């Protein structure tokens, strides 16, 4: 469609810009002529530059045969009426008000297009943020606790597609409950954010598939609209490794401090203990064994010997000498440990079994220290197991191939769930005559080798300790 414009002012420029932005499926618009009495009008130079015919008299337009539409943009009603009377019947015409409607519609369309483009861009950025940049579990939750959206990181962990979880309640998905979290152990940060209108943070302790503790840091951030909270962004991060690392560091610091104290105490009380023991035994030599005083002295001797054992354990604990590492065969150390403890096991009618992997790499360890650690575990297992039970030693290559695992398991009474996190603490014991140093010493010895020791236990079902000793590069030799 060929267009002629009457009036080359501001309206003309707006009309030309509107046409340039429009895309029509069935029409191709082209301005072929512009008429204006003023040669210096705004669009005259633009018309000449683009090869558009310019004339000072719009009557020249009526003689042309290539014009389909005349647009009056002067704003003068008489000019438009004159055009209507003189134009050919095949030529259409509309005035400046119709033109204004045209470019207003075009402007609205352009704004909508920009808005849609911005929405598409914002949605793309949103998807990139929650699904690619956000490694933690993320949910967007309504004030009624319903999930509005969540990232693929979380949905894949839960084994669902995101659309299958949208609309369900957050506490149903994350905690398998039929009501929001509450209480000291599981405070609800979402509830706090809704109440205060401010971000909130808390830590939840969950149980893994094997009963192990999993720590999650949960933070909530409100989203406002017109001054009201319309949604909350909840970010959940697994901080179990961080918590365990902090615990190990605190444990190590505690061991070092207590070790220094223990060494001083042990040396100070060792001599008096020896004096008490010797004196009591000398007096006993002058008495008959059926003398009541003899029995009282025997109590002193027994308790003094028990104190001396505690002192020896303190010295062992405090000593923690640097390992003197050499290449050793773990299976041989295990078998020697079994031979050293088999008499005590036999005395309690407990079987010692073993399942040792073949072709294990030799590892750089201090044989004496590793054997001491395993003897401590063996003695504990024997003491915790009733007659007719069994203690089993197992060796294997870790699934990662970077460590050797030594497993000591028993069929004993097990350890209470609340006691499990504390069993490696110095002086913590559940035995009536225990010192609480055996497992602390074992833990320290393994850590000095760059290894780890873990425990799994259930009351009435026995206990399993797993030692992992790293294999350094170059230790590929097998025995």
The fold for domain 134-238 equals: Beta-Lactamase (3.30.450)
Q: Which pLDDT does position 417 carry in this prediction?
A: 82
Q: Which pLDDT does position 471 carry in this prediction?
A: 87
Which has the closest alpha carbon to 288: 297, 279, 277, 300? 297
C-alpha–C-alpha distance, residues 316 and 385, integer Å:
25
Question: Do 222 and 197 touch, CB atoms closer than 8 A?
Answer: yes
Same fold, 134-238 and 326-470: no
C-alpha–C-alpha distance, residues 217 and 223, integer Å:
20
Q: Which pLDDT does position 292 carry in this prediction?
A: 87
The b-or-e profile of 319-341 (16+ CB within 10 A means b, else e) is ebeebebeebbbbebbeebbeeb
The yes or no reply on domain 2-107 and CATH 3.40.50.720 is yes
Beta strands in 165-227 (DSSP E): 200-207, 213-225
Q: Which pLDDT does position 209 carry in this prediction?
A: 55
Q: Which pLDDT does position 309 carry in this prediction?
A: 72
Write the burial class of residue 275 (CB in 10 Å: 0-12 exposed, 13-18 middle, 19+ buried): exposed
Q: Which pLDDT does position 130 carry in this prediction?
A: 52
Domain ranges (residues) in the chain: 2-107, 134-238, 255-319, 326-470
Farthest-apart Cα atoms in the chain, separation = 150
Q: Which pLDDT does position 238 carry in this prediction?
A: 82
Q: Which pLDDT does position 57 carry in this prediction?
A: 92
C-alpha–C-alpha distance, residues 22 and 120, integer Å:
21
Phi first, then psi: what are they for 254, rounded to 5°? Answer: -65, -40
Total residues found in the chain within this entry: 479
Residue 219 pairs in a beta bridge with 201, 235
Phi first, then psi: what are they for 132, rounded to 5°? Answer: -115, -45
Q: Which helix (H) or strand (E) holds 456?
A: strand 452-458
The angle at the Cα of 133, spanning 128 to 135, to the nearest 5 degrees, equals 130
Q: Where are the alpha helices (DSSP H) in 361-479?
A: 367-384, 438-448
Model confidence pTM above 0.95? no
Residue 5 pairs in a beta bridge with 34, 71
Q: Where are the alpha helices (DSSP H) in 348-436?
A: 367-384
The angle at the Cα of 77, spanning 74 to 83, to the nearest 5 degrees, equals 80
Token output for 161: 């597609």
Return the CATH number of the domain spanning residue range 326-470. 3.30.565.10
**Paired sense of beta strands 69-72 and 92-94, if any:** parallel
Give pLDDT < 50 ranges for the chain.
Answer: 133
Cα–Cα distance list, 13 to 106, 116, 238, 274, 332 (Å):
14, 26, 61, 111, 95
Please enumerate in sequence order all residues whose Cβ is within 8 A of that of 138, keeping only pairs 6 or more positions apart, or say none: 130, 150, 151, 153, 154, 233, 234, 235, 236
C-alpha–C-alpha distance, residues 237 and 135, integer Å:
9
Question: Do 206 and 174 touch, CB atoms closer than 8 A?
Answer: no
Q: Which pLDDT does position 56 carry in this prediction?
A: 92
DSSP 39: T
Question: Do 381 and 408 touch, CB atoms closer than 8 A?
Answer: yes
């Amino acid at each position: 469609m060929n267009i002629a414009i009457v009036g080359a002012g501001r309206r003309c420029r707006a009309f030309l810009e509107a046409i340039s932005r429009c895309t029509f499926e069935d029409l191709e618009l082209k301005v072929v002529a512009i008429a204006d009495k003023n040669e210096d009008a705004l669009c005259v130079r633009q018309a000449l530059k683009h090869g558009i015919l310019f004339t000072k008299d719009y009557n020249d337009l009526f003689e042309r045969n290539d014009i389909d539409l005349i647009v009056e943009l002067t704003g003068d009603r008489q000019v438009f009426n004159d055009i209507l009377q003189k134009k050919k019947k095949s030529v259409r015409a509309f005035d400046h008000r119709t033109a204004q409607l045209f470019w207003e519609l075009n402007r609205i369309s352009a704004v909508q297009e920009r808005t849609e483009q911005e929405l598409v861009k914002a949605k793309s950025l949103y998807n990139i943020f929650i699904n690619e940049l956000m490694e933690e579990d993320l949910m967007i939750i309504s004030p009624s606790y319903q999930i509005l959206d969540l990232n693929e990181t979380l949905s894949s962990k839960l084994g669902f597609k995101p659309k299958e979880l949208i609309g369900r309640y957050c506490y149903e998905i994350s905690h398998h409950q039929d009501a929001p979290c509450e209480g000291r152990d599981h405070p609800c940060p979402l509830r706090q954010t809704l109440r205060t209108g401010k971000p909130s943070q808390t830590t939840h302790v969950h149980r893994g598939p094997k009963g192990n503790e999993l720590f999650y840091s949960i933070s909530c951030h409100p989203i406002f609209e017109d001054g009201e909270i319309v949604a909350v962004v909840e970010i959940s991060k697994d901080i179990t490794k961080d918590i365990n690392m902090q615990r190990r560091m605190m444990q190590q610091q505690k061991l070092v401090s207590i070790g220094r104290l223990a060494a001083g105490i042990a040396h100070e009380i060792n001599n008096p203990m020896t004096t008490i023991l010797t004196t009591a035994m000398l007096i006993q030599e002058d008495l008959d064994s059926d003398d009541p005083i003899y029995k009282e002295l025997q109590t002193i001797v027994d308790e003094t010997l028990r104190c001396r054992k505690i002192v020896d354990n303190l010295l062992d604990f405090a000593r923690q000498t640097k390992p003197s590492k050499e290449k050793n065969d773990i299976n041989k150390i295990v078998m020697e440990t079994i031979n050293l403890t088999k008499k005590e096991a036999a005395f309690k009618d407990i079987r010692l079994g073993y399942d040792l992997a073949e072709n294990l790499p030799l590892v750089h360890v201090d044989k004496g220290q590793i054997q001491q650690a395993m003897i401590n575990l063996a003695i504990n297992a024997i003491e915790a197991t009733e007659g007719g039970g069994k203690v089993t030693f197992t060796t294997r290559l870790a699934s990662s191939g970077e460590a050797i695992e030594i497993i000591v398991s028993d069929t004993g009474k097990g350890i209470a769930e609340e006691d499990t996190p504390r069993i490696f603490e110095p002086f913590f014991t559940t035995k009536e005559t225990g010192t609480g140093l055996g497992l602390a010493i074992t833990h320290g010895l393994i850590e000095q080798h760059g290894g780890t020791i873990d425990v799994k236990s259930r009351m009435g079902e026995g206990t399993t300790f797993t030692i992992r000793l790293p294999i350094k590069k170059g230790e590929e030799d097998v025995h």
